[in-house]
A and B are shown apart, each in its own frame.
Chain A
């Protein structure tokens, strides 16, 4: 019997798969659905202080071996989100994704969460500093510097007692240094990562970019080599665990990210390629691979490519 369970900071996961932020996670019901489909932990859609309508549709368009998306952080705002995600009963950890323009906004978000009712229970917060296609945030606002990272992490850490995950994009330069800054400021884990780009898809019949925002972040199999390299870099510069996210559709893809240094795997676009039960499928494929290669626990392969 191969053991698939992993620990990530203080989070206990039955298998390494986590529902990535922004994928089906608008409502508590959909998150529960992901757990029923095998996800060991789930991440909510990223939540801002005020409600955000997001970008005009189309918000997603397919490209070779992947998708471009430009959702633009559509969300109902932190007040509604607290109401929505309260009374989480599943034993799968609930990760609340937060998006703010700077440390002041993150501090306000942390304060709102701290003062929420007791029935609002989350296992961790994930701070997104890496969206490649939303003005005012992430890569478009230069949030991906070691200084900004440290400020944001400290702001949240001083208000909230829950583990902090910081999410970066492989499109940022010097991801190892960014991760180090997050670790030193008190983060409990790194998520590498977000989509890359931004990229653009033009419909040649209409002679126009397809996405409402014209450009968007690339996800799916096409980005996986970049994710793997970025995880590999980060593994060499920090001791805190890494969630590997980007381009995982099969068990073998997840194994590859774990060999690069990931302790758990975020899954997004593959929900389309392989169906809503992709989590169970990937966990099973990992188990089979580990079994036939003589491993007794998935933890044994973390960082193997560095040895």
Chain B
């Protein structure tokens, strides 16, 4: 008698998992963190595609301990914000490249908006390796600053930076980093946030002859390098990004200059 009952005819290469939400935490007036009961085995810098049936699927950075931290800004994020502890959430991932800590001893992380999510995850890993971490958290105004206390608890030096000066440094993140660099030196700048900010930080790193790593955001749909919506020059961010070395990013002519909308049309940054 043959026993074929356990044979799988084809293995899945891009599975969708369904997890349960273990906890929901309000970070501020429009940002919530969702923790899953499922171990994603993700590395800092990776992302997942979250799916809410009947609403859609969106790319989200994976935060520390299987979390997603999401701003309520539109259709999908609003639907996500309605989910509660115990609700189901389906996802594909982890996807994409990761931040590399190499042999650095002293690093600086610069996050704008929800860009602090993967950096906080990175900070946790770096601190556990006794790397000295400085975190610059940039936002438009004081109430948009998130994760400040969490970074401090890890033992990081934290500088908040707001455009209007309502908290911490007054000005943009690049100026904040420059001010820190007057008295400190770092071996690498890690950054995730608005592309103009990242672009100028990469240039700053070059000027100071230190390394940099950036997390580039593009319009991501399929997540597997097929549909082409996330193109930056000849590269597809969804598979060979999000994280690139600053040097590599600078070789993309479009980096810091233009992006693409949901139709694939070029948009100047």
Contacts and interface: CB of A to CB of B under 8 A. Distances in A.
Interface of A: 22-27, 29-30, 32-33, 36, 45, 51-53, 56-62, 64-65, 67, 69, 71, 74-77, 80, 84, 203, 205-206, 208, 210, 212, 268-269, 271-273, 276
Contacts of B54: 208
Question: Which of A24, A36, A69 gathers most chain B CB within 10 Å?
Answer: A24
B16 A26 contact: no
Interface in B205-256: 221-222, 224-229, 231-236, 239, 254
A26 B90 contact: no
A51 to B, nearest CB: 5
B231 A57 contact: no
A22 B264 contact: no
Nearest to B254: A29
Contacts of A206: 18, 51, 53, 88, 90
Contacts of B1: none
A80 B57 CA distance: 26
B49 A58 contact: yes
8 contacts: A24-B228, A27-B264, A29-B234, A57-B49, A74-B263, A76-B263, A205-B90, A206-B53
B73 interface: no
Interface string B116-134: 0000000000000000000
A45 B228 contact: yes
Contact of B224 (A22, A60, A203): A60
Shortest beta-carbon contacts, A-B, top 10: A33-B234, A205-B18, A208-B53, A26-B228, A24-B228, A76-B265, A57-B57, A26-B264, A29-B233, A58-B57
Contacts of A212: 56-57
The DSSP consensus for interface residues of chain B is loop
Contacts of A269: 226
Nearest to A35: B234
A64 B263 contact: no
Interface of B: 9-10, 12-16, 18, 49, 51, 53-58, 88, 90, 221-222, 224-229, 231-236, 239, 254, 260, 262-266
Nearest to A60: B222
A22 B227 contact: yes
A268 B9 contact: no
Contacts of A24: 225-228, 231, 236
Contact of A205 (B88, B227, B254, B265): B88
B90 A203 contact: yes
A60 B225 contact: no
Contacts of B16: 61-62, 203, 210
A101 to B, nearest CB: 18
A220 B265 CA distance: 28
A61 B49 CA distance: 12
Contacts of B224: 60, 272
A35 to B, nearest CB: 9
A22 B221 CA distance: 13
A84 B266 contact: yes
A69 B224 CA distance: 12
A75 B234 contact: no
Given A62-B14, A206-B18, A208-B54, A272 B264 contact: no
Given A58-B51, A212-B56, A268 B226 contact: yes
Contacts of A77: 263
B51 to A, nearest CB: 6
B222 A59 contact: yes
A59 B90 CA distance: 15
Nearest to A209: B53
Nearest to A272: B224
Most chain A CB atoms below 10 A, which of B12, B16, B51, B234: B234
B10 A64 contact: yes
B227 A60 contact: yes
Contacts of A58: 49, 51, 56-57
A203 B54 CA distance: 12
A276 B237 CA distance: 13
B234 A36 contact: yes
Contacts of B55: 56
